Structure 1
Amino acid sequence: MTANHLPQKPDFAALEAAAPESADRRTTILSLIGGLVFNWSNNESLFIYVLMLLLKADQATAAIVFATLNTTRARLDLIQRLARIRIRDKALSKELDRLIDRFNDGTHIRNELNHCMYTVDNTTGEILHTQSMRLVQTSSALRFGEIKPMDEARIREMSDAVREMARINREIWDFMPRLEAHLRSGGRS
């Protein structure tokens, strides 16, 4: 696609006719995307409670602070900064940093799948690839949208990301009571 040409309009009649043949694979892909979004959203929401503990505030106050920051990155930065001054237990602090790092890793694939265009084969109805909706700058060029195939490797990557987000959710739930106990003790280990 050159800079001054639109992508080819899909043959919607052909897609609708082919859809039953590829329904199982498409359902798998869409289910994985949904599972990733579901788990990611639950994890992000749990960080409100981590913020609540670090601020020594009620849930409503923490939610207001959380929602006032308009990006996940800003919210997690605030949590990490507060953790540096409130958490005295180095192991507990490192555990929070690891949870946030792992969550951020999952954020990359979630953002990729939420902010892309999906290309579907007119003859099979199968999702062929995604094209990122962001600019990619290399040392020699600026191009629009990295294209990635929706192949078995990508489906495995998505499955792994869903499982990892589910693990992170459980680990945040396990982490919060320990954080609360640590903060209640005045930060003594």
Structure 2
Amino acid sequence: MPEDEPLQPDFDALQRIAQEKAGERNLIFALIGNMSYCWSNNESMFIYMLQYLMRTDEITATIVFGTLNTTRARLDLVERLAEAKLTDPEVTRQLRRIIRLFNESTRLRNEFNHSVFKTDAEGAITHTHSMRIQRKNGQLHLGEVKPVDQARIASMGASIKKMVKLNREIWAFLPTLKAAMQA
């Protein structure tokens, strides 16, 4: 067998002690869920930006949004339409800022949604191991292993606050974008 064969956890032992660690685990799971919720709400706001940039109705913008199967493709379309249609440099600057802030929130959200969680012998979540393939010295490896410590938990909370703030900024920006596209 290869050396890097994963060790199967002792599931019975973990189940016996899981209750002791349930509070910590539930906090981490709640933060991950909240990050996903906030992120998804923010991503969906790009439907309205598409609606205004394409000068169409909400259902058509939603169809276009849903047809593009990645967030990157959706943002590329928003950026390209803005470049082609927006003439006000200040509105363009605001839109680019929103996209930049959204992309920043995406990185942390992806870290937690696309990782394997490592636990200690007592079932506490100790690390994430990114499922992103990386090339190092000509060899393929799974991504980074990062600790799930108090600093990382605090960064999750801070990220959620930033996403909530960004959501309010997007809502405030929409009338500006609409007016710029009607000018």
- Provide the TM-score with structure 1 as the length reference: 0.91
Helix, strand or coil: the match of 2:45? helix
Q: How far apart, CA to CA, are the structure 2 residues paired with 1:86 and 1:114?
A: 35
Q: How far apart, CA to CA, are the structure 1 residues paired with 2:139 and 2:149?
A: 27
The one-letter code of the counterpart of 2:162 is E
Q: How far apart, CA to CA, are the structure 1 residues paired with 2:59 and 2:3?
A: 49
Q: How far apart, CA to CA, are the structure 2 residues paired with 1:145 and 1:183?
A: 42
Q: How far apart, CA to CA, are the structure 2 residues paired with 1:70 and 1:103?
A: 17
The one-letter code of the counterpart of 1:44 is E
Kept in 2, the 8 Å contact 1:39–1:166? The answer is: yes
Kept in 2, the 8 Å contact 1:15–1:121? The answer is: no
Corresponding residue for residue 46 of structure 2: 47
The one-letter code of the counterpart of 1:160 is A
Cα deviation for residue 138 of structure 1 reads 3.2
Corresponding residue for residue 7 of structure 1: 6
How many aligned positions are there?
183
* Cα 1:90/1:74, change in 2 over 3 Å: same
Runs (5+) with no aligned partner, structure 2: none
RMSD value over aligned CA atoms?
Answer: 1.5
The one-letter code of the counterpart of 1:80 is E
Cα offsets for 1:51-93 (capped at 9, x unmatched): 0110001111111111111110110011011111222221111
Corresponding residue for residue 87 of structure 1: 86
Q: How far apart, CA to CA, are the structure 2 residues paired with 1:113 and 1:52?
A: 31
Kept in 2, the 8 Å contact 1:131–1:148? The answer is: yes
Kept in 2, the 8 Å contact 1:136–1:142? The answer is: yes
Q: How far apart, CA to CA, are the structure 2 residues paired with 1:101 and 1:61?
A: 25
Corresponding residue for residue 32 of structure 2: 33
- Provide the TM-score with structure 2 as the length reference: 0.94
* Cα 1:129/1:51, change in 2 over 3 Å: same
Cα offsets for 1:137-183 (capped at 9, x unmatched): 23554322311110111111111111111111111000001111221
What does 1:131-150 correspond to in 2, within 5 Å? 131-139=129-137, 141-150=139-148
